[in-house]
Amino acid sequence: MLREPSTDGRFGEFGGRFVPETLVPACLELERAFHDAWNDALFRSELNDLFAQYAGRPSIITECHNLGAQLGIRLVLKREDLNHTGSHKINNVLGQALLAKRMGKKRIVAETGAGQHGVASATAAALLGLECKVYMGEKDIERQALNVFRMRLLGAEVVPAVSGSKTLKDAVNEAMRDWVATVEDTYYAIGSVMGPHPYPYMVRMFQSVIGEEAREQCRALLDGADPEFVVACVGGGSNAIGIFSGFVDTTSRLIGVEPAGGAAVGHGVPGVVHGMRSYLMQDEHGQVQEAHSISAGLDYPGVGPEHSYLASIGRAEYPSVTDEEVISAFSLLARTEGIIPALECAHALAWIVRTAPDHQGSTYLMNLSGRGDKDVAQMMEILS
Ligand SMILES: *Cc1c(COP(=O)(O)O)cnc(C)c1O
């Protein structure tokens, strides 16, 4: 089991609750509400029913015999791509939307960059009868027209963030501003293990279902053994922490793979952003640097505080891979196994491909966090 954060929400020197005075009561209310809900058998069984009957859990594991033989390893995928809406994000938003209802909130606000968390939030809000407003940078709205249409189709209101760089950072600011003004009836749904306490802890608990299932499924497949490597891509870090949580007290090596242009743990320094202290990409003046990645879902300059903590104690490792390695891994999985991965998790596979020659015969468990349908148009341009 991963440890609980301190009472002020710290994982070692990381995390915390760096919010304006006006938001402290809201964070405390949320912390209490989550604690009560998580310890309430009725809430847990309602959530498990949504997982089973709506999201399609448990997700299966798949051993890749063709690619494993080609690489000289055993490769096992945790199939979060098979969930309703196509990724692990549904686990988190179902948990938070159910919590919002339990707290008596009528409305959800969220921010989104590439649009995936916005679509997931709009989905959960539609299912549970909540109003949903999604803040999105004006530039991202142009770049992600299909996801904007999806959100509107699901009944959400999409609001352009027009300040600053007109991207995710600005959408975060505007969503927080909305929350400050409307906290009585509004719930703020964060899309990864980021933000002020209790979000990083709460989102980890909602995603821990991935690791719990995977550990049992792997032990059944591997005659009781655990894999040598547990590998996941890291944007904010929610799919990675979800699968790590099942293996942190085993001898498995935990590997979080970052894009080379957004290596927050690998190349960042500790700083405060989005209500938390964590590793961040900053320039020499301490300004938050924009991250770049072939995958819009990974170009966030920071990382969840618990990953910074796991890196600082040496329990998890955070290598990075290049866009070229990602493109080749994306095609490789499609051709050898008939599975088109999301570009995010192609990062995890790229690291596996790179390291397999040094670990022949080892077993790698990889979190296939999402399906690649959303990325085929972009890949068609890149590959042609
Ligand atoms: C959003 C997304 C990610 C990145 O988010 P994490 O919080 O780091 O998991 C990774 N994979 C997929 C498929 C995503 O949609």
What is the total count of domains within the chain? 2
β-bridge mates for residue 269, sequence order: 280
Same-domain check for residues 181 and 295: no
Known catalytic residue: 274?
A: no
Same-domain check for residues 293 and 253: yes
Residue 261 is predicted with a pLDDT of: 87
Same-domain check for residues 20 and 61: no
Sheet strands (E) in the chain: 10-11, 14-15, 61-63, 74-79, 107-112, 131-137, 157-161, 186-189, 229-233, 253-259, 269-273, 276-280, 316-317, 320-321, 363-368
Atom of ligand 1 at shortest distance to CA of 345? Answer: 11
Same-domain check for residues 82 and 98: no
Work out the angle between the directed axes of helices 145-153 and 116-128 (0-180°, nearest 10).
10
Residue 40 is predicted with a pLDDT of: 98
For residue 339, report the phi and psi dihedrals to the nearest 5 degrees. Answer: -125, 120
- Catalytic residue among 27, 35, 64, 347, which? 64
- Does the pLDDT value for residue 136 go beyond 90? yes
5 lies in a domain? no
Comparison of pLDDT for 163 and 379, the residue scoring more: 379
Tell whether ligand 1 has an atom less than 6 A from the beta carbon of residue 239.
yes
Quick one: average pLDDT of 146-163?
A: 95
Tell whether ligand 1 has an atom less than 6 A from the beta carbon of residue 257.
no
Asked if residue 73 lies in contact with residue 363, where contact means CB atoms within 8 angstroms, the answer is yes
The CATH number assigned to the domain holding 283 equals 3.40.50.1100
Atom of ligand 1 at shortest distance to CA of 237? Answer: 8
Residue 163 is predicted with a pLDDT of: 85
Same-domain check for residues 170 and 192: yes
Residue 211 is predicted with a pLDDT of: 98
Residue 139 is predicted with a pLDDT of: 87
Known catalytic residue: 233?
A: no
Work out the angle between the directed axes of helices 199-221 and 305-312 (0-180°, nearest 10).
60
Tell whether ligand 1 has an atom less than 6 A from the beta carbon of residue 234.
yes
Convert the pLDDT of each residue in 249-274 to its tens digit. Answer: 999 999 999 999 888 898 889 999 88
β-bridge mates for residue 53, sequence order: none
Atom of ligand 1 at shortest distance to CA of 371? Answer: 13
Convert the pLDDT of each residue in 43-79 to its tens digit. Answer: 999 999 999 999 999 999 999 999 999 999 999 999 9
Residue 358 belongs to domain spanning: 56-87+208-383
Comparison of pLDDT for 122 and 384, the residue scoring more: 122
Mean pLDDT, the chain, whole residue set: 95
Q: How far apart are CA 187 and CA 273, in angstroms?
A: 20
Same-domain check for residues 83 and 100: no
Convert the pLDDT of each residue in 92-116 to its tens digit. Answer: 999 999 999 999 999 999 999 889 9
| CA distances for 103 relative to 32, 46, 206, angstroms | 10, 15, 17
Residue 85 is predicted with a pLDDT of: 97
Tell whether ligand 1 has an atom less than 6 A from the beta carbon of residue 116.
yes
| CA distances for 83 relative to 59, 91, 153, 348, angstroms | 7, 9, 20, 19
Convert the pLDDT of each residue in 192-231 to its tens digit. Answer: 999 999 999 999 999 999 999 999 999 999 999 999 999 9
Same-domain check for residues 182 and 296: no
In this structure, of 136-145, 164-173, 292-301, the range with the lowest mean pLDDT score is 292-301
Quick one: average pLDDT of 156-167?
A: 90
Residue 167 is predicted with a pLDDT of: 82
- Write out the DSSP string of 181-230: HHTTTEEEE-SSS-SSTTHHHHHHHHHHHHHHHHHHHHHHHTTT---SEE
Closest CA to 16 of 273, 279, 196: 196
Strand, helix or coil at 35?
helix
Same-domain check for residues 71 and 105: no
Residue 295 is predicted with a pLDDT of: 85
Convert the pLDDT of each residue in 273-290 to its tens digit. Answer: 889 999 998 887 878 787
270 preceded by a cis bond (ω within 30 of 0): no
2 lies in a domain? no
